């Protein structure tokens, strides 16, 4: 594996993060995330995995340290601008709209940035190629899909905005071993075939 710095998309350097100024849950966290790879931070309940991702996405300001995105310290960059720089975040609590159809959920992912219907249709089609099961179910209410399929909708919706880098919080929480394997398979395809870089946190890697 190359050690060239240009391979590193995201670096967390000596990061101290907490919900209060004088109480750091994460202390001296150092992580390097390489381009087109999945980097995983594993740990038990409550160790601070979600806290780390919130700090990367800008929901929490670290007390100390640096968050370097392609070499630039983004600590003072607000979340909406981090999104424009290509960061995307899939939180631990599912954020899909369960009363809406698969198609409506995907459309929302596209409307955030671009009001160009043609582009949205193209990106939606790309998602259906990635996850053919969603094409069959595009008119179905998302809440009626299986847990794994709902995760696929959520990931697809995030991909509508064409991020460079995905932050994923516990992609397989609550899923069976078989569905976990499917989710990891799809994340692997995103890095190997579509050039995405992924930082995920999980309790264990099931299905790898
Ligand atoms: N909003 C908050 N305010 C104060 N403390 C918080 C807040 N959110 C989380 N914490 C605390 O921070 C610590 C780390 O929480 P975090 O959610 O990052 O853990 P986690 O590793 O993601 O756990 P899990 O595997 O259960 O999701 C915990 O002790 C938690 O109680
Ligand atoms: Mg968590």
**Which protein residues touch ligand 1 with a CB less than 6 Å away?**
19, 25, 43, 45-51, 92, 203
- With cut-offs at 50, 70 and 90, classify the pLDDT of residue 114: low
185 or 19: which leads in pLDDT: 19
Percent of the chain exceeding pLDDT 70 equals 93
Cα distance between residue 98 and residue 96, in whole Å: 6
The SS3 of residue 135 is helix
Question: For residue 81, how many other CB atoms are within 10 A of its CB?
Answer: 12
Which domains, ranges and CATH numbers included, belong to the chain?
A: 1-86+163-208 (3.40.50.300), 95-162 (no CATH)
Mutate to test the pocket of ligand 1, among 16, 40, 48 (most ligand atoms within 8 A of CB): 48
Choose among 62, 72, 61: nearest CA to 9: 72
**179-187 CB contacts, 8 Å cutoff, 24+ apart:** 179/146, 179/147, 179/148, 179/151, 180/206, 180/207, 181/206, 181/207, 181/208, 182/148, 182/207, 183/148, 183/151, 183/152, 183/207, 184/208, 186/130, 186/131, 186/152, 186/155, 187/38, 187/155
Structure tokens at 177: 């071993």
- With cut-offs at 50, 70 and 90, classify the pLDDT of residue 206: low
Cα distance between residue 126 and residue 200, in whole Å: 23
Flag whether pLDDT at 60 surpasses 90.
yes
| DSSP character at residue 5 | G
Nearest CA to ligand 1 atom 10: 19
Nearest CA to ligand 1 atom 25: 45
What's the whole-model pTM score?
Answer: 0.90
Strands (E), 70-194: 72-73, 87-90, 165-169
pLDDT tens digits, one per residue of 10-25: 999 999 999 998 899 9
18 or 116: which leads in pLDDT: 18
């Amino acid at each position: 594996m190359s050690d060239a710095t240009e391979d590193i998309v995201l670096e967390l350097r000596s990061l101290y993060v907490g919900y209060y100024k004088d109480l750091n849950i994460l202390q001296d966290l150092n992580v390097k995330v390489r381009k087109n790879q999945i980097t995983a931070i594993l740990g038990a309940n409550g160790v601070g995995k979600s806290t780390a991702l919130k700090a990367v996405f800008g929901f929490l300001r670290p007390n100390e340290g640096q968050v370097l995105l392609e070499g630039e310290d983004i600590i003072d960059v607000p979340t909406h601008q981090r999104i424009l720089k290509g960061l995307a975040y899939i939180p631990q609590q599912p954020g899909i709209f369960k009363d809406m159809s698969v198609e409506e959920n995907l459309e929302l992912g596209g409307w955030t940035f671009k009001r160009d219907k043609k582009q949205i249709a193209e990106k939606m089609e790309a998602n259906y190629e990635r996850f053919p099961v969603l094409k069959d179910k595009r008119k179905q209410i998302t809440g009626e899909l299986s847990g794994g399929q709902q995760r696929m909708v959520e990931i697809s919706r995030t991909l509508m905005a064409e991020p460079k880098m995905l932050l994923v919080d516990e992609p397989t929480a609550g899923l069976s071993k078989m569905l976990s394997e499917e989710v990891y398979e799809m994340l692997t395809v995103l890095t190997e075939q579509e050039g995405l870089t992924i930082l995920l946190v999980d309790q264990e890697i099931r299905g790898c």
